[in-house]
């Protein structure tokens, strides 16, 4: 894992910002083939995920299991008793 992966897993948005502003490889993968965006979603780090997306992270990159950040997010919604079709207050 890279420093960006660790910052996302541990929920350090200020470190994520610093790294992306210094042009780190935002879509680099760890040994599970996960990007920092996937890790941010897996570990419920919404602010880190937002920063990554605002700086051009590719949400379509899949991990070793073929899952993208969106797959992870939908899995978390379903596990919490909601579905993709549950009305939200957006």
> Mean pLDDT per 10-residue run, the chain (90 residues)?
96 98 96 96 96 97 94 84 63
> Contact 63/34 with Cβ under 8 angstroms?
yes
- Reading the block at residue 77, the tokens are 């919604």
Predicted local distance difference test score (pLDDT) of residue 77? 80
Domain limits, the chain: 3-79
Give the pLDDT confidence score for residue 2 in this predicted structure: 96
* Model pLDDT, residue 85: 66
Q: How far apart are CA 57 and CA 85, in angstroms?
A: 26
CATH number at 3-79:
1.25.40.20
Confidence (pTM): 0.86
Cα–Cα dist 38/53, whole Å: 11
What torsion do the CA atoms of 70, 71, 73, 75 make, to the nearest 10 degrees? 160
CB atoms near residue 25 (< 10 Å): 12
To 10 degrees, what angle do helices 3-10 and 46-54 make? 140
CA angle 56, 61, 64 (to 5 degrees): 145
Give the pLDDT confidence score for residue 90 in this predicted structure: 46
């Amino acid at each position: 894992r890279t420093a960006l992966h660790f910052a996302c897993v541990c929920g350090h948005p200020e470190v994520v910002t610093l790294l992306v502003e210094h042009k780190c490889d935002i879509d680099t993968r760890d040994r599970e083939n996960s990007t920092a965006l996937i890790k941010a979603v897996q570990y419920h780090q919404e602010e880190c995920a937002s920063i990554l997306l605002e700086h051009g992270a590719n949400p379509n990159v899949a991990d070793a299991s073929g899952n993208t950040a969106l797959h992870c997010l939908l899995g978390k919604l379903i596990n919490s008793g909601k579905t993709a079709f549950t009305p939200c207050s957006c």
